[in-house]
Amino acid sequence: MLSDIVETTAIDADGVRLETLPAFGRLNFRGRAGAVAAMSEAFGLALPEASCRAAIAGSRAALWLGPDEWLLLMLPTETDAVIAAAASALAGLPHSLVDISERQYALGLSGRLAATVLAGGNPLDFDLSTFPVGMCTRTIMGKAELAIWRTEPDRFHIEVWRSFAPYIRGFLREHMREFGA
């Protein structure tokens, strides 16, 4: 359970809220052009080709993390079916598909001060013109790596490796304290 290593209760402050998002199925997909097309087919969602962009369809999302790397998010119950569908759709096409559902978990940071709180430990420019809705990227927060995906102007989906979660949560909470957390 997540609570084995990290508290999961939401943290509220004036203008910003940090919460633990529900469990996701996660696959790390790697491959070249032909395999990408086949994977898009199998996943039911075109994997974005533009760098640092995410695509969503229904319960699924594909996040571009590198020129041959995507993080696929889905319901936990869908993971095995997607793996199976990919196995047949991608037969003979060099690629890598690895289940990382449990490697990381998701935090949600929302509110008008969400970007300000992120700026406490992250050097990216969260202005909507430079970090628009739909942008996603691996980056750094304090001394830990994480991936940040802007799903709405004031809402961020954060992916963090499991053992770094308490640190990231604590780091964000520290930067929420002046807003009443």
97 binds another protein (CB under 8 A): yes
Query: What HEC string does 95-116 produce?
Result: EEEEECCCCEEEEEEECCCHHH
Task: Between 149 and 164, name the residue whose CB sits nearer to another protein.
Answer: 164
162 binds another protein (CB under 8 A): yes
Task: Between 30 and 57, name the residue whose CB sits nearer to another protein.
Answer: 30
**Least distance to another protein from the beta carbon of 139, Å?**
6
Kindly tell me which residue out of 34, 102, 132, 133 binds another protein, with binding defined by CB under 8 A. 102
**Contact, 95 vs 31, CB < 8 A?**
yes
> How far apart, in whole angstroms, are the C-alpha atoms of residue 146 and residue 103?
12
- The DSSP output letter for 7 is -
Token pair 């009443």: residue: 180
46 binds another protein (CB under 8 A): no
9 binds another protein (CB under 8 A): no
